Structure 1
Amino acid sequence: MRSQFSGDALVHEAERLGPIHVTTGFEAGAIEVAGVGDGGDIRVSLAADPISGDVQWFFFRVSGIAGRTARIVVENSGRVSRLEGREQVPDCWTGYRPFRSRDGQDWVRCDALYEDGTLTIPVPPGADTLWFAYYPPFPMARHTAMLGRALANPRARLEVLGQTPDGHDLELLRIGTPERGKPKVWLMGRQHPSETMAGYFIEGLLGRLLDPADALGRHLAETCDLFVIPTVNPDGCRRGHTRTNARGMNLNRAWADPDPERAPEVVLIRDRMRAEGVDFCLDAHGDEELPYVFLGGPLEIPSRTARLSGLFETYARAMERACPAYRLADPYPGGAPATADLRMAWNWVAEEFDCLSVLLEMPFKDTHRQPDPEMGWSPARCAAFGWATLEAIAAVAGSLR
């Protein structure tokens, strides 16, 4: 999809070099074009989610830049909102490096400068076409391929919970056989579409869980009843939203009392959870500001118990042993709230089912533990963390009830 001087594409005519195109006409594409200056500045703005107005995610292609000295200038970067209790934490752009690709498939980090509410990304010489993204996209074709690999294992089967507002299937991967006494383990990702690291995390987790040569994966697939929802918000993922679904609803603020019209995805998942039961739940997300992986547990819910606190500590200690990128010393930011927000999935699930429910947050930037100066917290590291997470699940699986 392209148009001249409007919408998701802009054409800047230059007698010698020809037009520059800025395009978002593909899955998850998102940016608004303000103009192209004579000096080569390509001025854009982050696109706001409908109703909520959330801004953060961007994914676009620039072509016609060969032979030019150009910069991407994101003019409304300063509009990004912050969570409470983070006044002492650097904002999302400080220390952040975007991703760039020559083919839309293989991604590298690139430099950027954030000053006075504007993010500037230099365009390197030599290429005529480049893709830019806040984090490497995890397209629905990759989601489908991941499910296809899983379904090659006879222990896995696919269920469709229902349809989203845009008419897409809400897919649940069921692993294992239901038997009395088996722990019910739920794993979810991508309530927030922009947090694509959750897709790579579940891809790594499923890769180990269903690898017949991996003893731990095979053990968990045999002894647990697993429910995996890799993409809770397929509409938002396809549309290129930051945090909301097709109806403008932040699904991770809908769990206490979901509106069937605005958050049908949450209604469908809650109904299925109530029909099956939950003994453990993990909800995977990404955090834009903090340079570390952190976990949240059921520590502030109204019915909190010493049993749940002990289970969370066991889980977190096992995760610490399994992956050096995570440390208990990197806590939930701002300290624990007095009471849990039951609109959030991990809190609602813990309270509803009296179970261990864990929030996982992975960084968009890098980890200050074992940093990678070249790629930061990359899709490969997300997948490796998913692979290692089976160690922590195994540490608590026998004592969840």
Structure 2
Amino acid sequence: MANSSSPEAPIPVGKVSALIGSWIDRLGEVWVEGQITQLSRRPGAGVVFLTLRDPERDVSLTVTCFRAVYERVADVVQEGSRILVHAKPEWYAARGTLSLRASEIRLVGLGELLAQLEHLKRRLAAEGLFAADRKRPLPFLPHCIGLVTGRGSAAERDVLENARRRWPAVRFEIRNVPVQGVSAVTQVTAAVRELDEHPEVDVIVVARGGGSVEDLLPFSDEGLIRAVAAARTPVVSAIGHEPDQPLLDFVADLRASTPTDAAKRVVPDVGEELARVHQLRDRARRHVFGRVEREQHGLASLRSRPVLAAPHRLVDGPESEVAALAERARRCLGHRLDAAESDLGHTLARVVALSPLATLERGYAVLQRADGHVVTDPAQLTAGEELHARVAEGGFGVTVKP
């Protein structure tokens, strides 16, 4: 460029920009380290813009990347984060600006470790290992608690002392294992599986004191997470302090903020339970007494009503009416019987007066032929015919003479 230009034959700005762009295009992708000072994510846009700064030299470069590249680390990247960018330099000829087109973003040091943990967390969550419907309720009063913790650790002491202070009769199956270092994952996982198969263990507590992210890495191991997810016994995670949150917290059936909190949440307080029993018993007694008192008041109210206070009053009035009606019925029946008796006497007298027996008693007789017909005309008779004569006191046979 210097040899082909002069004051009389200068190179136009556009050509210079194009020459710079052609030279930059020949550069391959490079790894760049810097600190994010500005982050722009426009909703719906497919490209994310970052400003990457070198704090020591106070130099900044614009970095662009597709949203898919940024989403891989979106959960752990923010303004102020130190990152590594695998990018290709690009020259924008129209404006004469240099930028980097990133194809991969990583966090520096601890940030990279957190990014890997975040990626593992999303993958396990997608498999459903952290789903709420997989979590099992803890037993109200476990008879035996499995405890996985470091030997002689403060976490072990906190769990044992607080649990026994709350419920002195509780028993423990303790597995002392390394809680950091190369063998921690293997031994913690084996202890969890052993306690899960123990027939008397009702709940398992994995406890450890606080520490750095690197110290707590064993409790984010995928093998341990899957072992806890496959366990049939409920598992409580009591790792570190309140801000610490390894992946074990997400798969466990219950997350306790500290080992002390785990003891309080696994074992009920005997004093509180006795107070609750007394409270419920007093409440039941008051309820029963109140119910009996209400029923007594109701019964007294019913008994005070006239129908129950003096029930004979309901009978006295109808009794006199029944007696009057019975007397009236008796009189009516007597009158009817007297009238019927009189009518019967008159009828009997008429019957007696009209009876043929009365005529026979005056000396008359009734002649009957053999077939029973009464003889009323002598012309009906023949000589020698046998007849029957009936008189008042009996009868006798007669013969017709010529």
Shared fold (TM-score greater than 0.5)? no
TM range (shorter): under 0.3
The higher relative CO (CA closer than 8 Å, separation ≥ 6) is in: 1
TM-score by length of 1: 0.24
More helix by share: 2
